[in-house]
């Protein structure tokens, strides 16, 4: 019994360590409400005006771990974050953990994506295309034309 307990504890410690390593090496940043208020927009301080606080345009993915389309979109966003590194930021908000933040943006279906240019009004989009390739192509078009204005 002691060996089983020890093995379980070692497994749990290794899982936590690997999970922390994965999170730190990812190009996508996970946001809490506090992070959002500091990095994106302080909607509590300015509830009627969008004042973007970021230094680069960004995509914010409102997702949940149990959501299959969200899991399909995740590697696409990771890839885009790498491709556009230094040009845009890619963030994720877990709607199950950040209910107040999700409610503030009226998130009713996921995945939902908030595209924030440096200047101007952000745009919200929900869902993904039929294939990963189509989704990536749509995201690239939005990044190039709306966020980076190429």
Q: Where do the domains of the chain lie, and which CATH numbers do they carry?
A: 28-147 (3.40.30.10)
Which residues pair with residue 93 across a beta bridge? 62
Going by their DSSP bridges, the two strands 29-30 and 123-126 should be labelled as unpaired
70 catalytic per annotation? yes
Catalytic one among 16, 58, 70, 116? Answer: 70
- Give the predicted TM-score (pTM) of the model: 0.81
116 catalytic per annotation? no
91 three-class SS: strand
How do the pLDDT tens digits run along the chain, 150 residues long?
443 333 333 333 333 333 333 343 468 999 999 999 999 999 999 999 999 999 999 999 999 999 999 999 999 999 999 999 999 999 999 999 999 999 999 999 999 999 999 999 999 999 988 899 999 999 999 999 999 998
């Amino acid at each position: 019994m002691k060996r089983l307990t020890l093995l379980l504890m070692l497994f749990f410690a290794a899982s936590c360590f690997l999970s922390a390593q994965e999170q730190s090496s990812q190009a996508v940043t996970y946001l809490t409400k506090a992070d959002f208020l500091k990095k994106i927009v302080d909607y509590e301080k300015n509830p009627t005006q969008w004042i973007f606080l970021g230094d680069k345009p960004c995509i914010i993915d409102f997702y949940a771990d149990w959501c299959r389309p969200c899991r399909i979109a995740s590697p696409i966003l990771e890839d885009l974050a790498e491709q556009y590194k230094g040009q845009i930021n890619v963030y994720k908000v877990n709607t199950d953990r950040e209910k107040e933040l999700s409610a503030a943006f009226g998130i009713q279906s996921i995945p939902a994506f908030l595209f924030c240019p440096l200047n101007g009004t952000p745009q919200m989009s929900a869902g993904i295309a039929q294939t990963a390739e189509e989704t990536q192509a749509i995201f690239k078009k939005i990044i190039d034309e709306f966020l980076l204005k190429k």
